[in-house]
Structure 1
Amino acid sequence: MTITLEEQSHLKDILKQIVLNPGSLTPAHVVGGIRSIVRGEASDAQIGGFLITLKLRKIDSDPEMVVALAQEGLRGAIVPDIGLSGKAREDIGMIVDIIGTGGDGWNTFNVSTTSSLIAAAAGLTVAKHGSRAFSSNCGSADLLEGMGCNLKAVVPSHVGKFLREHRYCFILANNFHPSIHYVNRMWSELGFPTPFKVLGPMTNPVVPDRALIGVNSKVLGPVMAEALRIMGRRNYAVVCGDENLDEISIAGDTHVWHIQESGEIRNYTIHPRDFGVPAHPLSEAAGATLEENKATLHRLLSNELEDSDIAVRDFVLINAGFLLYVAGAASSMEEGASIARETLESGKAKVLLENFIKATYELPDL
């Protein structure tokens, strides 16, 4: 007996359907399962079973499934009112993001977080979506909180103020996605990446105008790009290092799926030399503990580099430089890296972070 979608209001019913009829899984089942979880009606066993089933069915290899996940994630998000028209929008300008799926196993330094600070200091308006660590020693939120940011206080009503006054705001996923704790709890206990890893890069509630998104698999790259295209995103670049790294690799080639304004997806390969930067082994750009990553970030922003920091700095420069290129703030990748380096060495990124930290403790009641 087949259970109709109308009858599948509970995750238990959906699981029964897709397990007993393996070929029957549809985007509607995925959406129904997520909604059942968000309503708080599913047990831990049912949530775990659902996540495992989605993993085994490889739904993150199907753009339509990925779109269903992302749209449902955005449906449940708290969307900040940042002034999307008129003078307020002019003050904010083009909004960008740089984020990766995580889960690549390389445990590199917090490249996207550092790159986001440099990009904002170079003149872009950055709404950086991120969370605490799941698959690494130190996530983006962990690092910024370790540096002194009061991220818990940055709620949706504050985003417009930060973007207008500082050109930077960190969008802590837990503050903008109330239902995320249901999945995150099980995700951390399962110990392997689930298809929900695609949600972070695709569900920034601000919906940036342009973005650089890293994925941890060359197979996922074209799927993510096609899903973003279906969702209407343009001038987004999906990247994957040749080592299945969810960032632009400092060690060698990186594969790019660049969604053009026309909607065409342009696929090409880039290398550190395209940025005028030498390649370095990934082992020289490894991340470590929170305390060690904090120390590295401090040295980078303060121009107090040690020999061991050069690879990390260059790693950051090519990622920040490519974001500047994707955003149209640089005419070439090499110019983007040059702007990023000048911004870093000028101390502007350090000042931006210091001002952001201070502002997170001086928030008005909005």
Structure 2
Amino acid sequence: MEATPAKKTTVLKDVLKQLVMDPNSFTPQHAADGLRSIMRDEASDAQIGGFLIATRFCEFEKNPIMLAALAQEMLDNALIPSIETETKTKPEFGILADIVGTGGDGWNTFNVSTTSALVAAAAGLKMVKHGSRAVSSNSGSADLLESMGCDLNIVAPSDVASLLDKHNFCFLLFNTFHPSLQYLFGILVELGFPTPFNVLGPLTNPVVPGCAVIGVHSKHLGPVMAEALRILGHRNHVVVCGDENLDEISIAGLTHVWRIQSDGEINNYTIHPSDFGVAAHPLSTTAGSTLEDNNATLRRLLSNELEERDIPVRDFVLVNTGFLLFVAGIAASLKEGAEIASQTLEGMQTCV
């Protein structure tokens, strides 16, 4: 008589039980173990959904040690491009940078970080943008670029160095560079609301850029995200949150900034559009719309064929790009950063 095959142990089920029944004793290692179980395809859709909902209600976003543990587990299982070696042998690569938001702020603004990444690349910064298709908005960064004719699915880790060398820009599609999380991403789309993994995306760029501006959807998340970045060893990274709980640098008023210095110290201060020499505009004037409308807006911006309604969006792009150029050391001040961004944008001609 043949022996009955032993059942596969589902670690996530045990982790989820621990999280729900005794959350006070739940540790970052438990969280990492649960995520590893998902990445090894050891969990059912129901268990993954339960894990996502439980981590949201247990407010993982407020625990930087928990976020850092989950992010490190994701990075340990990501496909890592060989950029470091290329950078050492090809100094012209310079600093690698990213600008990204967590999403989930509810404002549904135009795709400013994607546009800012393109402008910063045209200004000479090596942009390694890490993102995905829309989960909680009308038009995600990947959706917009694909609507412009970019085939993001064909970009492999071996392509990143040459794309940066040729274009100063490369988009790392989350699904491609984190293949072990393909099951998780599908469930995120089905859930349709922000989870802690909206926060983890900006923490898990597989290139590990030397400079990044990361927008968060709530002011309380700013110091948490900055501390998680510090724990992960990142320096010269900046977390920003508009005073309206906007995951970008606000064009309407104050933005709160948490900057991780080279010595690991985190400095907190505020900035305003006037610091860039740019006029403030109500956020309502920078609202995104359908993917088709956002595509048309981006084409007008990149071809320097602006309509009156595009001015607030352009200024929104200038402050976000200008800040990134300042953080990366290309600009000596916020005003200079916005000026470089403006000159770059005026000189760009769309090729699509």
Q: In structure 2, list runs of 5 or more residues that go unmatched.
A: 1-8
Q: For the residues of structure 1 that align with 2:288 and 2:197, how far apart are their CA atoms?
A: 24
Residue by residue over 1:180-234, the C-alpha shift from the partner in whole angstroms, topping out at 9 and shown as x without a partner, is: 2222222222232111111211111111000000000101100000110111111
Give the aligned residue type for 1:22.
P
Q: How big is the shift at 1:84?
A: 2.6
Q: For the residues of structure 2 that align with 1:180 and 1:246, how far apart are their CA atoms?
A: 24
Q: For the residues of structure 1 that align with 2:277 and 2:202, how far apart are their CA atoms?
A: 28
Q: For the residues of structure 1 that align with 2:203 and 2:51, how far apart are their CA atoms?
A: 21
Equivalence for 1:206: 207
Contact 1:212-1:237 at 8 Å conserved across structures: yes
Equivalence for 2:190: 189
Equivalence for 2:5: none
| Residue aligned with 2:179, SS | coil
Q: How big is the shift at 1:306?
A: 0.6
Contact 2:87-2:93 at 8 Å conserved across structures: no
Residue by residue over 1:162-181, the C-alpha shift from the partner in whole angstroms, topping out at 9 and shown as x without a partner, is: 11121111111111010222
Residue by residue over 1:309-351, the C-alpha shift from the partner in whole angstroms, topping out at 9 and shown as x without a partner, is: 000000000000000000000011011000000000012xx45
Equivalence for 2:173: 172
Q: For the residues of structure 1 that align with 2:19 and 2:299, how far apart are their CA atoms?
A: 50
The 3 A distance-change label for structure 1 pair 206 and 86 is closer
Equivalence for 1:226: 227
Q: For the residues of structure 2 that align with 1:322 and 1:110, how far apart are their CA atoms?
A: 16
Q: For the residues of structure 2 that align with 1:23 and 1:13, how far apart are their CA atoms?
A: 15
Q: How big is the shift at 1:83?
A: 4.4
Work out whether 1:154 is the aligned partner of 2:155: yes
Equivalence for 1:134: 135
Q: How big is the shift at 1:19?
A: 1.9
Give the aligned residue type for 2:228.
A
Q: For the residues of structure 1 that align with 2:241 and 2:180, how far apart are their CA atoms?
A: 29
What pairs up with 1:230-309 in 2 under 5 angstroms? 230-309=231-310
| Residue aligned with 1:179, SS | helix
Q: How big is the shift at 1:85?
A: 5.8
Q: For the residues of structure 2 that align with 1:20 and 1:237, how far apart are their CA atoms?
A: 36
Q: In structure 1, list runs of 5 or more residues that go unmatched.
A: 1-7, 358-366
Equivalence for 2:120: 119
| Residue aligned with 1:84, SS | helix
Equivalence for 2:4: none
TM-score w.r.t. length of structure 1 = 0.91
Q: For the residues of structure 1 that align with 2:285 and 2:160, how far apart are their CA atoms?
A: 36
Task: Give identity over the alignment, percent.
Answer: 65
Contact 1:83-1:160 at 8 Å conserved across structures: no
Equivalence for 2:35: 34
Equivalence for 1:102: 103
Residue by residue over 1:121-161, the C-alpha shift from the partner in whole angstroms, topping out at 9 and shown as x without a partner, is: 00111101111111111111111110111111111110010
Contact 1:114-1:316 at 8 Å conserved across structures: yes
Equivalence for 1:88: 89
Q: For the residues of structure 1 that align with 2:109 and 2:28, how far apart are their CA atoms?
A: 34
Q: For the residues of structure 1 that align with 2:309 and 2:86, how far apart are their CA atoms?
A: 46
Residue by residue over 1:283-331, the C-alpha shift from the partner in whole angstroms, topping out at 9 and shown as x without a partner, is: 0000011110111011111111111000000000000000000000001
Contact 2:108-2:287 at 8 Å conserved across structures: yes
| Residue aligned with 1:69, SS | helix
Q: How big is the shift at 1:24?
A: 1.3
CA RMSD between the two structures: 1.5
Q: Alignment length, in residue pairs? A: 345
Q: For the residues of structure 2 that align with 1:209 and 1:87, how far apart are their CA atoms?
A: 13
| Residue aligned with 2:170, SS | strand
The 3 A distance-change label for structure 1 pair 213 and 71 is same
Equivalence for 1:45: 46
